[in-house]
Amino acid sequence: MSKHVPVLLPEMLGVLAPRDGGIYLDATFGGGGFAGAILQSAACTLWAIDRDPDAIARGASLAAQFPGRLHLIEGCFGDMLALLGAEQVERLDGVVLDLGVSSFQIDQPGRGFSFRADGPLDMRMGKHGTTAADLVNTLPERELADLLFQFGEERASRRIARAIVAARAEAPVATTGRLAAIIRGVLPPDRSGIDPATRSFQALRIRVNDELGEIERALAAAVELLAPGGRLVVVAFHSLEDRIVKRFMTDASGRAPSPSRYDPRGIVTRPPVSFRLLTPRAMRPRAAEIDANARARSARLRALERLPAESLAP
């Protein structure tokens, strides 16, 4: 049975600082690690969103441990405004986003996320929509290469795309094992020990689930929902995610560089700053956590706080 180990858990709780009577959102419920910790730390109410019906079903046992305090919603976290609005939730004291794929999804071969065990080439976090197999078997070679480069930062994207197109001409690429073998046939093993298929699998997963678009929508919605003093805490696991989060929080807190004096935008009055950046530098896992959980090694935590109305700059 898979066990989800939440990353940067003490750091998340320290920054979120749940309080009794507060209302919080775990927008990426997953294995419930963050949710359980938040509920245990304060007598608060927690809403939780996940697009994976399996995650929602698993959450029933946690909800039973905290009667009336944990409320589960199936849906995409980018739609949190509509999902919470339907429940008459208009303000939150904190929002947590634990980005990426959960251990439950990775460790189930039938979900098709991992190249470590053979399974159907699926990669959907939910149960509807385009699969990774659909993309691999239908995209033109150039589009497939662009996908692998854009979402996986794979430098050998063109060689890999060429090999996939040649392989699918013989028979559809339907399993994780076959796709991984095609990629390994193109790329030599990495000295770091990272599997050659890692970046390509990441790219397909991101595209299948529109993960970067979801993050952008979720960040914009989260700050709209935050009450004064409310905090947004985000844990990202790769540079594409973290780049979006860092840019968003930098802009929201008024820390973006000023335009050049020769740039016409420099004469436009900036709106009052409504947020304070709580993490000028991203928080990272300690060595002991990385030793205990290798998946933690790339994690970055960033956080933002909505300022009280009386603190806003004129």
Backbone angles phi, psi at 280, to 5 degrees: -55, -35
The single residue listed with the structure tokens 């093993």 is 189
pLDDT of residue 3: 56
Q: Which one-letter DSSP state was computed for residue 127?
A: S
For the chain, list residues with pLDDT below 50.
1-2, 313-314
pLDDT of residue 104: 72
Domain that holds residue 278: 9-98+211-311
pLDDT of residue 146: 98
- Rounded to two decimals, the pTM is 0.89
Instruction: Give the number of domains in the chain.
Output: 2
One domain for residues 54 and 196 = no
Q: pLDDT digits over 78-132, tens only? A: 999 999 999 999 999 999 999 987 777 777 888 888 888 899 999 999 888 999 9
- Find, among 297, 253, 284, 245, the residue nearest to 99 by Cα: 245
- Find, among 136, 146, 147, the residue nearest to 169 by Cα: 136
Q: Is residue 33 part of a domain?
A: yes
pLDDT of residue 271: 60
pLDDT of residue 192: 77
CATH at 270:
3.40.50.150
Last residue within a domain, chosen from 186, 209, 232: 209
Quick check: helix, strand or coil at residue 23? strand
pLDDT of residue 97: 97
pLDDT of residue 127: 81
pLDDT of residue 304: 97
One domain for residues 201 and 218 = no
CATH at 199:
1.10.150.170
One domain for residues 217 and 69 = yes
pLDDT of residue 2: 46
- Evaluate whether 213 touches 78 at the Cβ level (below 8 Å): yes
pLDDT of residue 314: 44
